[in-house]
Each structure stands twice: as structure tokens, then as C-alpha cells.
Amino acid sequence: MILDLFFPNRCIHCNRIIDPEVLVCALCFNRIHFTHYDYFENNPISEKCKLLFPVSHTYALIQFEKENLSRKIIHELKYKGREKVGKVLAEWTIERLDFKNQKPDVFVSVPLHPKKLRERGYNQLHLFTEKLSEFYRIPFNHELVKRNHYSKAQALKDKRHRLAAINPFSLTQTITGKHILLIDDVFTTGNTVSSIAWEILNAGDNKVSVLVMAMDV
């Protein structure tokens, strides 16, 4: 409480003082470009995924456009140490995503390499995934997928180097006959989720759907 008086929470866009659990003020909230994608119908992510691997369903919460507030939100989560942004993004997702009677069996988030995890101090997807798991009553598995190589941030790579990565992920457990919802922060080329999806699909009679915080348009 005392810290709130001296260091109040501020809107990440306009710097206006806001409630402690809020990310942006009411005025700036209207600047966020939500996608309004339908999880069960074709959308830009499903169209791209289908060129890379057999995908069941796809969803993105916000548009990751250049110089917009959505991009700033993701950067606050990934690079500014604000892990709790993941909880806010999960709350926004819960308000908009209904699995109806076709819930996936398990949530799996894209892992960080152990070295990157030590550097950052947290996986930006874990709190997001765990909040969704609690609400939808779907288990999560943070240990199923292992990142095999340490590399610099995906957002800082050019497209050629992103495409050059070989076998970046592997599975640590046997999994068959499951519908996996693969969770990532930003969908760009789709190569990250594709690499993991093929590991899951080749492991047994599994299905893969994709949920991302943001779609890079």
C-alpha cells in the first residue's frame, strides 16, 4: 500500500495513474487492436499454419502492428520484466475465447532455453498459460517440449536466420491421442509453432491447435 503511494501504477502508453491490477487506462484501452478472430473458423493464422502443418484451430488475441500499443504490451512482458502482463492478457483472452464443447486436452507453452530463462528470470508464457488453465479447467504441461539450442530473441533475427534453425525443439515425454493447444507470444513466420507441432504430431495420434497473444501482420 505504501509503495503504491510513492510508486503508483501507470498506464504503459500515456503514463496516467491507474489501478494496480490494470495495464492501460480506459482511454488507451481503445487503442489496442484486438483481432476478433474466430477460433473455429479460418483466420490469418490458420491460413499460414495450414501451409506448414495440419492445424485444427487457431486464435490470436491482438494485432502485433509496428509502433502500436499492442506491440508495446508484448515488449513490456518479454523485455521489461513485467511478468504480470501475462495475467492481464489471459484475462482479456478469457473474455473473448470460448472453446464451446471442443476443449483441447492440454495447454503447452513454447519453452525458453534454460540459459535464456536464467537471463530473463521467467518464461513470459507461463503465467498466461496457468491463468487460462485455471479458468478453462484444462491442465498445462510446461515440461513436454524442450528447446535444444540457445539463440537470441526471435524478434531480433532476420527471416533468413529464423528459417535456418534445425531441430530447435524436442519432446521430453511420450504423448499420444491428445489434442494439444500450443501457446506462443507472437506469431510471425509460424516456424516456431510448426517445429513444435511436427514433434507432437509425429509422436502419435495427436492433434494441434494454436493460441498466440499477438499476430504479427
123 in the same domain as 16: no
4 pLDDT tier (thresholds 50, 70, 90): low
> pTM for the full model?
0.88
**With 90 as the cut, is the pLDDT of residue 217 above it?**
no
Q: What is the pLDDT of residue 103?
A: 96
Residue 137, beta-bridge partner list: none
Domain range for residue 12? 1-30
Q: What is the CA radius of gyration of the chain?
A: 17
**With 90 as the cut, is the pLDDT of residue 159 above it?**
no
Share of the chain above pLDDT 70, in %: 89
**With 50 as the cut, is the pLDDT of residue 163 above it?**
no
Contact (Cβ atoms closer than 8 angstroms) between residue 162 and residue 189: yes
Among the listed residues 68, 135, 46, the one whose alpha carbon sits nearest the alpha carbon of residue 97: 135
166 in the same domain as 63: yes
**With 70 as the cut, is the pLDDT of residue 164 above it?**
no
47 pLDDT tier (thresholds 50, 70, 90): very high
Q: What is the pLDDT of residue 90?
A: 98
What pLDDT digit, counting tens, does each position of 6-45 carry? 578 899 999 999 998 889 999 999 999 999 999 999 999 9
Count of domains for the chain: 2
What pLDDT digit, counting tens, does each position of 112-128 carry? 999 999 999 999 999 99
Angstrom distance (rounded) from CA 135 to CA 65:
28
68 in the same domain as 15: no
54 in the same domain as 23: no
71 in the same domain as 159: yes
